[in-house]
Amino acid sequence: MYEGQVLNITSAKYFNGIIGEKQSIKATIDGQVMYVPLDEDNTHYREIMRQVDAGTLTIEAAD
C-alpha cells in the first residue's frame, strides 16, 4: 500500500441527522469536525474503519 495519510481522529460517533438515522459519522479529524458518509469509496470513511479494525478507534453509537 502506498504512503498514505494517517489521520489524527480524536472522536467518531454515528450521527442521526435531519436526513435520516445513522446517516454519517461525525468525526473530529485533525482537529476539525467532519461529517463522513458511510461510503466505502470515501477515503475518510476507509481510514476511520482502518483505525477501528486496528483497535485504535471506536465509533460511538448515535444519540
Partner 1 sequence: MALTKVDQTMVSDQVFGRRNLFVNGDMQISQRATSVSNVSTTAYHTVDRWELTNSSAGTWDVSRDESVLPAGQGFAYSQKLDCNTADSSLDAGNYLIWRQKIEGINLQHLKYGTSSAEKLTLSFWVRSAKTGTYIVEFYNNNSAGFKIQSQSYTISSADTWEKKTITIDGDTALGFQNTTDAELLVYWWLAAGSTYSGGASLNNSWNSGVANNTRAVGQVNLADNTSNNWYITGVQLEIGDKATPFERLTYQDQLRLCQRYYYQTEGQVYYNGYGTSADTYSLSNVELPTVMRANPTVTDSDTANGTSFQTGAISRFMIYGAATNNASAAARAKLYAVSEL
By CB under 8 A, residue 9 contacts partner 1? no
3-class state of residue 61 by DSSP: coil
Whole-angstrom Cα distance, residue 2 to residue 21? 35
What is the length of the chain? 63
Q: Which of 41, 54, 55, 63 binds partner 1 (CB under 8 A)?
A: 41
Nearest to 46 by CA among 31, 28, 25: 25
By CB under 8 A, residue 60 contacts partner 1? no
Give the nearest distance from C-beta 39 to partner 1 in angstroms: 4
Q: Which of 5, 54, 55, 61 binds partner 1 (CB under 8 A)?
A: 5
